Structure 1
Amino acid sequence: MKILIVEDDARVAAALSAYLRQAGYAPQTVGDGASAIAAVGPDTEAVILDLGLPDMDGIDVCRRIRGICGVPILIATARSNVEARIKGLHAGADDFVVKPYDVRELIARIEAVTRRMRTAQPAPQEHSVVQIDGVHINLSTRLVSVEGAPIELTPKEFDILAVLARYPGVATPRDRIIREVWGTDWSGFSRSLEVHVASIRRKLDRPSLVVTVRGVGYRLMGS
């Protein structure tokens, strides 16, 4: 998932970027409002926006970005007053956290917002099919084939593959997969996840397709 970080404090931006990258995300940082508006593109999947920017107020940046696209926007700022929250939400923000915040909560909020967006707005048809290493994954019809031959996956196996297929090449954390597939944060499903991944590799006959990323989770990557 590509996340745009809009933060004028270079140290804060660097620390947040490093944490997100370690968690399997693809962060991009900018330090002012004009750069933020220019950086938002079709591949931007979430924006973390500070309000205290050097060239314009973050509320205006939020309003400008919302006028361009419907990307999820999470405001992260030191402004804790209710008025700032109301202005941000009216400008089009999807959520609001006050500094200092726990990065784990920030990530959980980003995932919650993007999950709601995916539920409310199904992926366009042109992005519903993923093809990699001879494997054809249709996210809309839930059909999988290898070199044209249909493969029968269990519902949980397909759900796991679909989570990875949405971001091919990106390391997806175990807890995120468990949260999206099982709907819980309970780590007890970690062993079940391993078993399902092993079954996916066997059924697809592509041992190198689902790569284990040590200490993080899994990545969909063809040989």
Structure 2
Amino acid sequence: MNSKQYILVVEDDKPIRNFITTSLKTQGFNYIETDKGTEAIALSMSHKPDLIILDLGLPDMDGIDVVTKVREWSKVPIIIVSARENERQKIEALDKGADDYLTKPFGIGELLARVRVSLRHSASTNNEKEISGIFKVKDLVVDFNKRKLTIGNDDIHLTPIEYKIMALLCSYSGKVLTHNFIIKEIWALPTGSETQSLRVFMASLRRKIEKNPAEPQYIYTEVGVGYRLVDE
């Protein structure tokens, strides 16, 4: 692990913060920590961390506002860790610029796996095995060389994980991808985990590309199995 990689931990619950920072230290990461949103914004500007782990329920400001402020000038990966289970709030955090979302309580192995995934996404997309060229179906166009998705004349912004899910669906367009397959490919986690997170990301992705998410024309849900991207 690169000892120069710094992670900013923003968590007001001291036992949880200590749990996270101790685990990061054992994995070779350096870290800085705070329990306040205003200080988190200042630290992100002065220390330029490689990744931010952010709780939403902070004493001085909402974590979503921290995401909004940081996104005004930085693309640093942000992983939300929060006890909020409302799907709409999770989607709002992703819409504002968070890259991933983990619901408390969580296992440290799961958090560290997400940290590694986010850092890989951030390090260099050129080193990842991705499809190239252009994928087109109806009004949806994905230019993999430019990492750009458009619907008609509208550019659609995707988070790194949303883009990776979209690329995976495009690679197997017309085929049903099971929940476990997608989870393993995106997060490299064991099967049977992260179904809830996958559902949140799919809901966010649909909100961005579907005119009516309740009546999708691009990504279909195969109930109890997984998802399928149309191929015509």
TM-score by length of 1: 0.53
Paired AA for residue 4 in structure 1: L
- Quick check: 1:51 aligned with 2:56? yes
CA distance in 1: counterparts of 2:20 and 2:117, whole angstroms: 18
The count of corresponding residues between Structure 1 and Structure 2 is 125
Q: Equivalent residue for 1:15?
A: 19
- Quick check: 1:35 aligned with 2:50? no
Q: Equivalent residue for 1:171?
A: none
Cα shift readout 1:182-219 (whole Å, capped 9, x = no counterpart): x999xxxxxxxxxxxxxxxxxxxxxxxxxxxxxxxxxx
| Gap runs ≥5 in structure 2 | 128-187, 191-232
TM-score by length of 2: 0.51
CA distance in 2: counterparts of 1:69 and 1:110, whole angstroms: 18
Is the Cα contact below 8 Å between 2:55 and 2:80 reproduced in 1? yes
CA distance in 1: counterparts of 2:57 and 2:189, whole angstroms: 35
Cα shift readout 1:153-192 (whole Å, capped 9, x = no counterpart): xxxxxxxxxxxxxxxxxxxxxxxxxxxxxx999xxxxxxx
Cα shift readout 1:42-75 (whole Å, capped 9, x = no counterpart): 5410000000000111000011111121100000
Assess, with a 3 A threshold, how the Cα gap between structure 1 residues 95 and 184 changes in structure 2: closer, same or farther: closer
Instruction: Please say which of residues 39-48 and 56-65 is displaced more in the overlay.
Output: 39-48
RMSD: 2.1
Moved >6 Å (runs of 4+): none
CA distance in 2: counterparts of 1:57 and 1:19, whole angstroms: 25
Paired AA for residue 118 in structure 2: V
CA distance in 2: counterparts of 1:121 and 1:10, whole angstroms: 38
- Quick check: 1:99 aligned with 2:117? no
Assess, with a 3 A threshold, how the Cα gap between structure 1 residues 83 and 20 changes in structure 2: closer, same or farther: same
Q: Equivalent residue for 2:183?
A: none
Query: Following superposition of structure 1 onto structure 2, how do residues 204-223 of structure 1 map, counting pairs within 5 Å?
Result: none
CA distance in 1: counterparts of 2:109 and 2:72, whole angstroms: 29
Displacement, 1:120? 2.9
CA distance in 2: counterparts of 1:33 and 1:121, whole angstroms: 33
CA distance in 1: counterparts of 2:123 and 2:33, whole angstroms: 24
2:7 to 3, 7, 31: 3
Query: Following superposition of structure 1 onto structure 2, how do residues 54-203 of structure 1 map, counting pairs within 5 Å?
Result: 54-120=59-125
| Gap runs ≥5 in structure 1 | 123-182, 186-223
Is the Cα contact below 8 Å between 2:113 and 2:189 reproduced in 1? no
Taking every aligned residue pair, what percent have the same amino acid on both sides? Answer: 38
What SS class does the counterpart of residue 71 from structure 2 fall into? Answer: helix
